[in-house]
Amino acid sequence: MMFFNPSEFVPEFTADVGIKKGEKVDYAIFINDELSILIEAKSVNEDLDKHGSQLFRYFATTPARFGILTNGIIYKFYTDLDTPNKMDDRPFLEFNLLDIKDNLIPEIKKFERANYDHDNILNSAAELKYTNEMKKILYEEMSNPSDEFIRFMLKDIYPGIKTQNVIDKFRDITQKAFKQFVNDTLNERFKALIDNASTKESAAVIELEEKVEPVSKINTTIEELPWKRTC
């Protein structure tokens, strides 16, 4: 089995950018003879946010559909969801190699050579990107509710005018309500898991008891005892 195909995995790939000739991308991946993925690799100590513009330039001048920016631990996957042929400012997929979330594993596996289908990846990229953005917004609102979010929450529960004083008054209340909602939801999930585990354990015990044949009770008379027969 060949683990390295120089026609598919090309280091120091030349990607001319405008008047700049001989610009090198760290790695380029070709799928079915088509340039599909550009990879820009940085030192493990590098802040990747400082190097996005470099990959951005390369992406715009090549037919690649995906760009990956990594320092060996953090991996950021980009494409052109917002504007065709222009790399998005934010990645649609990001993970830490030392702490990979279970829900991201199926998305990462789509980039395996045997599974690669850029149309399939693009279809899920938009959902991934906007889901991540929404999660970030929800986290920020839970940590520090914005005026707009508080007004939205008060829309159906506070009939008065939502002045700034009212907004400020409800900021702590909104934050507490948000956190209590998350905690209650988690507690319900944990309780459901525990109840489900207990139900399965009880069912297993009952099934085991049903499979075990009862021991027959043996009644032995005095005449049947060994010492009685020898007397």
Q: 31-65, pLDDT tens digit by residue?
A: 888 889 999 998 888 888 776 777 888 888 888 88
Q: Domain of 194?
A: 144-211
DSSP 42: -
Kindly state whether residues 120 and 64 are assigned to the same domain.
yes
Q: Report DSSP letters for 10-40, one per residue.
A: EEEEE--BTTB-S-EEEEEEEETTEEEEEEE
Is 223 a domain residue?
A: no
Segments of the chain scoring below 70 in pLDDT: 1-4, 16-22, 51, 200-231
Q: Which residues have C-beta within 8 Å of that of residue 39, sequence separation ≥ 6?
A: 25, 26, 27, 28, 29, 67, 68, 69, 70
For residues 131 and 203, membership in a common domain is answered with no
My answer on whether 70 and 119 are in the same domain is: yes
121 in the same domain as 48: yes
Please state, in angstroms and rounded to a whole number, the distance separating the CA atoms of residues 80 and 30: 18
- Residue 216 located in a structural domain: no
Q: What pLDDT sits at residue 2?
A: 44
Tally of domains within the chain: 2
pLDDT at position 16, please?
61
Are the C-beta atoms of 94 and 73 separated by less than 8 Å? Answer: no
H/E segment holding residue 125: helix 118-143
Same domain, 194 and 116: no
Structural domain includes residue 220:
no
Q: How many other CB atoms are there within 10 angstroms of residue 55's CB atom?
A: 22
pLDDT at 211: 62
pLDDT at residue 1 in the model: 36
Among 112, 140, 168, which residue terminates a domain? Answer: 140
- Same domain, residue pair 135 and 148: no
Question: Among 96, 125, 140, where does a domain finish?
Answer: 140
**Based on the domain organization, do 149 and 55 belong to the same domain?**
no
Domain boundary among the residues 140, 164, 185 is at: 140
Distance spanning both ends of the chain, measured CA to CA: 84
What is the predicted pLDDT for the residue at 74? 93
